[in-house]
Amino acid sequence: MNGSDIAAQTPFEQEVAQLIVTSLNLEEIEPANIDPESPLFKDGLGLDSIDALELSLVISKNYGFQLKSDDSNNVKIFSNLRSLCQHIESKRKK
């Protein structure tokens, strides 16, 4: 991954990127190198449904709210780091 041509991460995106890498044990990925606008699942970072579950458990622990499966925006929420962060910021209870 080339660090120079990706969109810049906001401080909160840096925090969540770090959380993704630690909680999912993505040893070979540098949090700062996750492009906030490129896909998290499949083609992008290559996460799967189990990663999404682990991530949502960590998010509920750290930010005090549970991601819901019946949220029709889930495809969008999980689409990239930026939209995930925006969703967390709008829902977080801590």
Partner 1 sequence: MLYLIRWIAIHLGRSTSRLILYPITFYFLLFAPSARRASYDYLCRVLNYPVRPWHVARHFFHFSATILDRVFLLTGRFSLLDIRIHNLDLVERQLAEGSGCILLGSHIGSFEALRALGISKYKLPVKVVMQEEHNETITRLLHSLNPEVGKSIIKLGKPDSLLKVHEYLQQGYLVGILGDRAVEADQTIPCEVLGEKAELPTGPILAASVLSVPVILFFGIYNGTNRYDIYFEAFAEKIIIEREQHDCDMTRWLQKYADRLTFHARQSPYNWFNFYEFWDADV
Nearer of residues 8 and 39 to partner 1, judged by Cβ: 39
Residues paired with 39 in a beta bridge? 80
Nearer of residues 5 and 48 to partner 1, judged by Cβ: 48
Q: Is 22 in the site for partner 1 (CB under 8 A)?
A: no
Query: Can you spell out the DSSP letters for 33-92?
Result: GS-TTSBSBTTSS-B-HHHHHHHHHHHHHHHS-PPPTT-TTHHHHTTBHHHHHHHHHHH-
Structure tokens at 41: 């699942």
Binding mask 54-73 for partner 1 (x = CB under 8 A): x-xx---------xxxxx--
* Distance of closest approach, residue 17 Cβ to partner 1, in angstroms: 17
Nearest to 91 by CA among 81, 76, 77: 77
The Cβ of residue 15 has, within 10 Å, a number of other Cβ atoms equal to 15
Binding mask 30-59 for partner 1 (x = CB under 8 A): -----------x-----xxxx-xxx-xx--
User: Interface residues with partner 1 (CB under 8 A)?
Assistant: 25, 41, 47-50, 52-54, 56-57, 67-71, 74-75, 78
